[in-house]
């Protein structure tokens, strides 16, 4: 099968990372559910038929499991308390040095809401990552990486392809079990016949891809003068430091967004200069390079618009982004932030529809 009209994978990842960054700055459940719904709608409208296209559903399930785990830990170990007691569990007396930690005791409505909101934020982050995995081809993404990053690309390809390969391996193992008539759901049987083969097959496929890239000279270097190497290392180090500090400031609630954005921009400029200099020592040729055109920039701009709307809302009315649990009440829906999140739906119309052309050979095989 040949596929046409696919969007550049970097554009999908930038869009998803912007949504995830916006979600990390809020605890309002309405906004988090909107971000999750926007990501899910775009995935439904623009995903292909590759094996990794079902990654969003897997990440969404993991996110809901994370909400349940967060709630269970809060009920058992305690956390935020409040005046509205829902029920009370038997408690254990702990030593004085364990102040702030409890086992059992009263479970309040305020604490449950706090745990659910916190877990929902983590689930939204996982949903955004799942959307990027479902929409972007991991192999095309690695092929599109700058030449300066070829040194770490073998490790990166393993990290990026494990999640999609898990989905593919799960489908293959499930089909194999159905063909054998294996319907047992005992925990030990499932662990031995499903979980272990899936993990082994997914990691083995990722390592095979990395080994194939390494055998083809992926990441081969050429010699450059020592002053150029030192300048490249200094620019990359300062750029990465600026990116880390800027990202931490942008995600933290106590830091000025303007200063964090300035650090992030400066770090990106320095890192970009280091990448350009480092690319000179890597010989590189391209066969059918993926274009980064107007549609890609539109998708990137929509993700940045969502993040910008959240930051502006945080400056103008930060109370609307953080759900109050003391007292327990239904949080309002900030209008500006909600309208900004809706801009994230632009890729559903701007991105090209996935067209799958089935060859005559495949048609004959399907008919047979």
> Is residue 61 scored above 70 in pLDDT?
yes
- Mean pLDDT, the chain, rounded, equals 76
Q: Report the Cα 290 to chain-centroid distance in Å.
A: 22
**Average pLDDT of the segment spanning 173-198:** 71
Q: What pLDDT shows up at residue 303? A: 92
**Average pLDDT of the segment spanning 84-94:** 76
DSSP alpha helix (H) spans, the chain: 9-24, 29-46, 55-77, 109-135, 138-143, 153-180, 187-190, 196-215, 226-251, 257-278, 294-316, 335-342, 347-350, 360-367
209 versus 71: the higher-pLDDT residue is 71
pLDDT tens by residue, 287-318 = 666 677 888 899 999 999 999 999 888 888 87
Q: What pLDDT shows up at residue 123? A: 92
Contact (Cβ atoms closer than 8 angstroms) between residue 309 and residue 25: no
> Is residue 262 scored above 50 in pLDDT?
yes
Tokens describing residue 113: 């809401």
User: pLDDT exceeding 90 applies to what percent of the chain?
Assistant: 15
**Residue 279: other Cβ atoms inside 10 A:** 15
Query: Nearest to residue 132, comparing CAs of 171, 168, 163, 153?
Result: 163
> Is residue 331 scored above 80 in pLDDT?
yes
**Average pLDDT of the segment spanning 96-125:** 82
How many whole angstroms separate alpha carbon 255 and alpha carbon 88? 39
Q: What pLDDT shows up at residue 90? A: 78
**Residue 333: other Cβ atoms inside 10 A:** 13
**0.75 exceeded by the pTM?**
no
SS3 355: strand
pLDDT tens by residue, 346-362 = 998 887 766 443 333 33
Contact (Cβ atoms closer than 8 angstroms) between residue 201 and residue 136: no
Q: What pLDDT shows up at residue 365? A: 35
223 versus 114: the higher-pLDDT residue is 114
- Is the four-CA dihedral 329, 332, 337, 341 of positive or negative sign? positive
How many whole angstroms separate alpha carbon 220 and alpha carbon 188? 46
DSSP 154-173: HHHHHHHHHHHHHHHHHHHH
How many Cα atoms sit within 13 Å of 63 on the Cβ side? 23
157 pLDDT band, cuts 50/70/90, is low
Q: What pLDDT shows up at residue 159? A: 64
User: pLDDT exceeding 70 applies to what percent of the chain?
Assistant: 68
Q: What pLDDT shows up at residue 362? A: 35
Q: What pLDDT shows up at residue 2? A: 34
> Is residue 244 scored above 70 in pLDDT?
yes
On the 0-12 / 13-18 / 19+ scale of CB atoms within 10 A, 34 is: buried
């Amino acid at each position: 099968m040949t596929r046409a009209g696919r969007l550049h994978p970097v554009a999908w990842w930038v869009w998803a990372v912007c949504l995830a960054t916006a979600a990390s700055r809020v605890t309002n459940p309405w906004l988090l559910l909107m971000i999750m719904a926007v990501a899910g709608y775009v995935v439904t409208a623009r995903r292909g038929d590759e094996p990794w296209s079902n990654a969003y559903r897997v990440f969404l399930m993991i996110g809901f499991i994370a909400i349940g785990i967060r709630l269970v830990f809060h009920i058992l170990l305690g956390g935020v308390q409040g005046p509205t007691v829902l029920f009370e569990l038997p408690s254990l007396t702990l030593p004085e040095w364990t102040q702030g930690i409890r086992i059992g005791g009263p479970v309040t409505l305020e604490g449950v809401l706090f745990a659910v909101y916190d877990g929902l934020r983590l689930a939204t982050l996982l949903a955004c990552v799942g959307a990027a995995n479902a929409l972007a081809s991991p192999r095309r993404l690695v092929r599109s990486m700058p030449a300066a990053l070829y040194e770490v690309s073998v490790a990166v390809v393993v990290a990026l392809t494990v999640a999609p390969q898990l989905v593919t391996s799960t489908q293959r193992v499930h089909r194999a079990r159905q063909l054998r008539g294996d319907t047992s759901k005992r925990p030990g049987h499932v662990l031995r016949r499903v979980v272990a083969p899936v993990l082994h097959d997914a990691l083995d496929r990722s390592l095979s891809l990395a080994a194939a890239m390494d055998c083809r000279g992926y990441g081969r270097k050429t010699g450059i003068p020592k002053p150029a190497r030192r300048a490249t290392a200094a620019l990359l180090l300062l750029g990465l430091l600026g990116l880390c500090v800027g990202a931490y400031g942008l995600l933290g609630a106590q830091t000025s967004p303007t200063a964090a954005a300035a650090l992030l921009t400066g770090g990106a400029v320095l890192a970009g200069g280091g990448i350009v200099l480092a690319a000179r020592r890597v010989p590189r040729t391209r066969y059918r390079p993926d274009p980064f055109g107007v549609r890609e920039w539109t998708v990137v701009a929509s993700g940045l618009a969502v993040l910008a709307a959240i930051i502006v809302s945080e400056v103008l009315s930060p109370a609307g982004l953080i759900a109050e649990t003391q007292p327990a009440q239904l949080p309002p829906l900030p209008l500006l932030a909600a309208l900004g999140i809706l801009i994230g739906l632009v890729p559903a119309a701007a991105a090209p529809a996935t067209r799958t052309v089935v060859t005559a050979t495949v048609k004959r095989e399907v008919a047979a």
